[in-house]
Amino acid sequence: MSIENGNPENENLNSEINSTENQSVEDNVTDQPSETQTESEPQQVEVAEEDFSQFSLQETLDEMEKIVNRNDAPADSYRFSRLRDHASHKITDETEDKKHEYLEQGNPEEHFDAHHPQASKLSALVHIFREKQDKFHKQQEAEHQDNLQERLGIIERLKNLYTNSEPGVNLFKSIREIKEAWGNAGQVAKSEFKNLNNNYFHHLKMFNEMLDLNKEYLEQEFAHNLEKRQHIIQRAKELLDENVVQKALNELQYLHKLWKEEAEPVAEEFREKTWEEFKEISNKIHERKSELIAVIESEHQENLEKKNKIIEELKTLSSPQNINHNYWQQAIKRVEELRSDFLKLGAVPKKISNQNWTDFKQSLRDFNSAKNDFYKNLKGSQIQNLEEKLALIKTAQDNMNSEDWDIVVPLFKKLQEDWKKIGHVPRSQANKVWDDFREACNTFFKNYREKNNASGDNWKENYKSKKALLEELKALTDEEGSVEKIENIKNNWNAIGKVPKDKLSINTEFNKALREKLKLNKINEFDLKEENLTESQLTDKARKIKNQITDLEAEIVQLENNLAFFNSPNRDNPLLKDTYDKLDSKKQQLESLKVSLHNIIAGE
């Protein structure tokens, strides 16, 4: 395998070595290739896989297309396979969702078209990638065969170096050239690698044994290899501070490869010492891998908890307590937020990843089913709402030209209040019914404003007339004929129309003056013979009389109860005279009020 031209992060540890100390590396350094591992298949120390869960289907297909379009596409086969599986999973999910919605609408299952529009593109990308992969493997087989012949030639050179070397040959220079050639030689097939590697190290060992006869050369070799070991140990120490743990682990593999292929042998006194130091550093780096895995597992667990909370909230949104249109509109927005949050979260533990995703998809389906059921049922209530609004429109249109302001103004205000209380109507009718209702209301209030503006001048004259009547009322005394004058003033007052809004206080002032004159002349207000009263004024007067009758009846009952406490409650008792006089007065007043109420009701 090439050393100078290769990336240390992509190289593999070569586990095929017969020395005792290097065998112990396999026992202490995890994630090493097996004895049959071929150099043609680089193996990285995999700590954390790339997370594709946030990729949409289109993004996944785009990534696959980028790989397919590269010249070295087969080198990224593992990533392509994971993207392919993710895309297939997304297509299946989207097809199931569409089928679920299709069946919910009452369609027969046999008519459902299960073909996904992106399935053809996925199939085409997979087909192209396989063709490139097949071509790559054929090229690789040819290269492996050429590399095999090259390595066999190197082994033959090594063999000749200790068996047939001529006098004067610089063994130190020759072995360096052979080792460099071996390191630069290309990859070979897995089936050839084990025997080839064993053969090379066998002849290297035989060469080293031959060197026992040349102590000076052997010492130079030991010193050179020791220096290499020290460089390797120093670099391993630096990896302890490497922030990217996976990078440190990958480079550690490369350092072990260098140790086995280029740092052997060393003097006996340094062999165990240097190996133990290197092994201890290796173990510390691998301890960092365990820490990283623990952190990743913790993050996966946190992601799982967050995703489960999202699933629980989706279930809650699917079963609301108060169901209405506004709720579902807000819930739809919230579900979209939760869906986005779910997809943004990272991976969860692999053993429950599929179940977590299934639960999420099911919770979305349950929400959509509940929402669809609500709007199906809502259509029935919307028809009823439409009928109620049409009835309001009919009433508004029937009264929009009326000028009976005292009755119709409150009516239109109530119509508007009732309109707000009625729920939604079918969307196809919503604009029409609103336009019809608004037009009727606008017609009435426009007419009302125009009439009020036209009568503004009359109202000013009305105020002048009422002002004169008020002054005339204030001037009255309790002389003979005053009651008739009061009745005449009151009837004239009732005959006068409205006054400007800023002059309405004159009505309060008149009522106050009227009560004072009635009291002065000892007459009840309801005994007045009033004329020119409107229907609403008569209704108001009848209401007031009824209230006073109720109060008088209660007072009479109370007085009679008071009399019952005496043993001889007769009129001759001087103590009861005032009580009987008050009782007679209230009964007389009660009869008078009943006559007045009768007259109002009878229209007399």
Within a domain: residue 329?
yes
pLDDT given at position 153: 92
Distance, in Å, from the CA atom of 245 to the CA atom of 232, rounded to the nearest integer, reads 18
The verdict on 179 and 222 lying in the same domain is no
Q: Is the pLDDT of residue 24 over 70?
A: no
Q: Other C-beta atoms within 10 Å of 371: how many?
A: 19
Query: In three state form, how does the secondary structure of 147-183 look?
Result: HHHHHHHHHHHHHHHHHCCCCCCCHHHHHHHHHHHHH
pLDDT given at position 135: 86
The verdict on 239 and 331 lying in the same domain is yes
Mean pLDDT, range 74-83, rounded to an integer: 86
Mean pLDDT, range 581-595, rounded to an integer: 81
pLDDT given at position 21: 33
Within a domain: residue 559?
yes
Mean pLDDT, range 104-124, rounded to an integer: 81
Instruction: Pick the closest to residue 543 from 604, 603, 600 (CA basis).
Output: 600
Choose between 27 and 252: higher pLDDT: 252
Within a domain: residue 164?
yes
Burial of 138 (0-12, 13-18, 19+ CB in 10 A): exposed
Mean pLDDT, range 581-591, rounded to an integer: 81
The verdict on 247 and 141 lying in the same domain is no
Instruction: Pick the closest to residue 115 from 104, 123, 103 (CA basis).
Output: 123
Choose between 418 and 42: higher pLDDT: 418
pLDDT given at position 213: 55
The verdict on 217 and 181 lying in the same domain is no
How sure is the predictor about 214, in pLDDT bands with cuts at 50, 70 and 90? low
CB 249 within 8 A of CB 286: yes
Choose between 597 and 558: higher pLDDT: 558
The verdict on 66 and 168 lying in the same domain is yes
Instruction: Pick the closest to residue 236 from 261, 258, 255 (CA basis).
Output: 255
Take residue 155 and report the two structure tokens written for it.
């082994």
pLDDT given at position 55: 81
**Full DSSP string of 539-568:** HHHHHHHHHHHHHHHHHHHHHHHHHTTSSS
C-alpha torsion angle, residues 98, 102, 103, 104 (rounded to 10): 100
pLDDT given at position 40: 34
pLDDT given at position 11: 31
pTM above 0.75, yes or no: no
pLDDT over 70 percentage in the chain: 85
Q: Is the pLDDT of residue 23 over 60?
A: no
Cis? peptide before 410, omega within 30° of 0: no
Helix (H) or strand (E) holding 526: none
pLDDT given at position 531: 62
Take residue 199 and report the two structure tokens written for it.
């053969």
Each residue of 146-188: pLDDT tens digit?
988 989 998 888 888 877 766 666 777 788 888 888 888 888 8
Last residue of a domain, one of 337, 353, 372: 337
The verdict on 126 and 216 lying in the same domain is no
Within a domain: residue 366?
no
The verdict on 306 and 259 lying in the same domain is yes
Distance, in Å, from the CA atom of 91 to the CA atom of 87, rounded to the nearest integer, reads 6
Last residue of a domain, one of 337, 366, 392: 337
The verdict on 223 and 133 lying in the same domain is no
Q: Structural domain tally of the chain?
A: 3
Helix (H) or strand (E) holding 185: none
Q: Which residues contact 32 (CB under 8 A, 6 or more apart)?
A: 13, 15, 25, 26, 253, 256
Q: Is the pLDDT of residue 6 over 50?
A: no
Distance, in Å, from the CA atom of 518 to the CA atom of 478, rounded to the nearest integer, reads 9
Mean pLDDT, range 8-14, rounded to an integer: 30
pLDDT given at position 226: 87
pLDDT given at position 562: 77
Query: 168 to each of 127, 173, 563, how far by Cα in Å?
Result: 61, 12, 157
Within a domain: residue 167?
yes
pLDDT given at position 133: 84
The verdict on 268 and 321 lying in the same domain is yes
DSSP symbol at 263: S
Last residue of a domain, one of 337, 360, 376: 337
Rg (CA), the chain: 53
CB 472 within 8 A of CB 510: no
Within a domain: residue 557?
yes
pLDDT given at position 583: 81
Distance, in Å, from the CA atom of 455 to the CA atom of 500, rounded to the nearest integer, reads 10
Distance, in Å, from the CA atom of 353 to the CA atom of 55, rounded to the nearest integer, reads 16
Instruction: Output the average pLDDT for the chain.
Output: 78
The verdict on 177 and 232 lying in the same domain is no
Take residue 218 and report the two structure tokens written for it.
């052997």
CB 499 within 8 A of CB 462: yes
Q: Is the pLDDT of residue 313 over 70?
A: yes
The verdict on 225 and 131 lying in the same domain is no
Q: Is the pLDDT of residue 454 over 60?
A: no
Distance, in Å, from the CA atom of 453 to the CA atom of 444, rounded to the nearest integer, reads 14
CB 42 within 8 A of CB 12: yes
Residue with tokens 């897995």: 190
pLDDT given at position 33: 32
C-alpha torsion angle, residues 496, 502, 506, 511 (rounded to 10): 90
DSSP symbol at 576: G
3-state DSSP call for residue 72?
coil
CA 539-543-546 angle, to 5 degrees, is 140
The verdict on 184 and 216 lying in the same domain is no
Each residue of 473-532: pLDDT tens digit?
888 877 776 778 777 887 787 777 777 778 888 888 888 888 887 777 777 666 666 666
CB 343 within 8 A of CB 53: yes
Q: Is the pLDDT of residue 3 over 60?
A: no
pLDDT over 90 percentage in the chain: 2
Mean pLDDT, range 247-265, rounded to an integer: 82
Q: Is the pLDDT of residue 32 over 70?
A: no
Mean pLDDT, range 117-127, rounded to an integer: 87
Within a domain: residue 99?
yes
Each residue of 318-374: pLDDT tens digit?
887 767 777 888 888 888 898 888 888 888 888 888 888 888 888 888 888 888 877
Distance, in Å, from the CA atom of 548 to the CA atom of 528, rounded to the nearest integer, reads 15
Query: 304 to each of 310, 351, 591, 596, how far by Cα in Å?
Result: 10, 11, 86, 84
Out of 152-161, 208-217, 344-353, 578-587, pick the least confident: 208-217
Instruction: Pick the closest to residue 450 from 401, 487, 520 (CA basis).
Output: 401
Query: Which domain does 82 fall in, by range?
Result: 57-108+115-188
Within a domain: residue 270?
yes
